[in-house]
Amino acid sequence: MPEVDIEWPWQYNFPPFFTLQPHPETRAKQVTAWKSLILNYCEKTKTYTIDVRETNQNPLFNNTTINRKLEQNVIISILSELQKSGNAAPVDKSKNRWEIYWHTLEEWASIIYDSICDRGMQNTVVTFYELTQGDDVTDLIFFGMNQDVLIKALKVLENERKCELILEDDIQGAKFF
């Protein structure tokens, strides 16, 4: 995981936060807090995928200071809640690997397209590298974006007829309209 200074919410140092609470109202607040924490953490660390099997190494789910960690089945249930709002999606059938979208795919699509328009790049082909790694995007929010997430966001734009994906061996990118 990338080293980034994270401001943990107060709950993170509260041991019961790491145990699913039995009272429905308390549990609902707990799940909401976890959803917010996951999205904030992933945005700050630019984490696009979470493997539930590796969460013991992830400070997000393992607070070594208070010796508490969130169980994998609880993590999966919280990620499933994030899926309902369009902020996560399982990558595999067993729901071990998840993509995390701190912006929904529709929001990412809009952010990318606005950037293309702002830079006057309609009617040009832009490679995935130029879109997410190029020198002129280092200050943009989608710099370093995971390619699988990028393709899904671009498919949203393709469905809106704002771009055409190019997924050939020698060139991978999109033509924007």
Burial of 152 (0-12, 13-18, 19+ CB in 10 A): middle
For residue 169, what pLDDT is reported?
A: 83
Regions in the chain scoring below 50 on pLDDT: 1-2
Work out the angle between the directed axes of helices 147-159 and 105-118 (0-180°, nearest 10): 80
The amino acid sitting at 153 is: A
Kindly tell me the sign of the dihedral angle through the C-alpha atoms of 127, 43, 66, 98.
Answer: negative
Model confidence, pTM: 0.91
For residue 92, what pLDDT is reported?
A: 95
Backbone angles phi, psi at 119, to 5 degrees: -95, 5
- Minimal CA–CA distance to 6: which of 47, 53, 52, 54? 47
Domains and CATH numbers, the chain: 10-100 (1.10.10.570), 105-176 (1.10.10.10)
Give one DSSP letter per residue of 135-164, joined into a string: GGGTTSTTTT--HHHHHHHHHHHHHTTSEE
The amino acid sitting at 7 is: E
Q: Residue 49 corresponds to which tokens in the numbers above?
A: 């995928």
- CA distances (Å), 138 to each of 68, 129, 150, in order? 36, 12, 16
For residue 136, what pLDDT is reported?
A: 87
Q: Residue 55 corresponds to which tokens in the numbers above?
A: 């969460």
Dump pLDDT digits (tens) for 19-41.
999 999 999 999 999 999 999 99
Kindly tell me the sign of the dihedral angle through the C-alpha atoms of 167, 168, 169, 170.
Answer: negative
- Minimal CA–CA distance to 159: which of 106, 91, 90? 106
For residue 171, what pLDDT is reported?
A: 85
SS3 140: coil
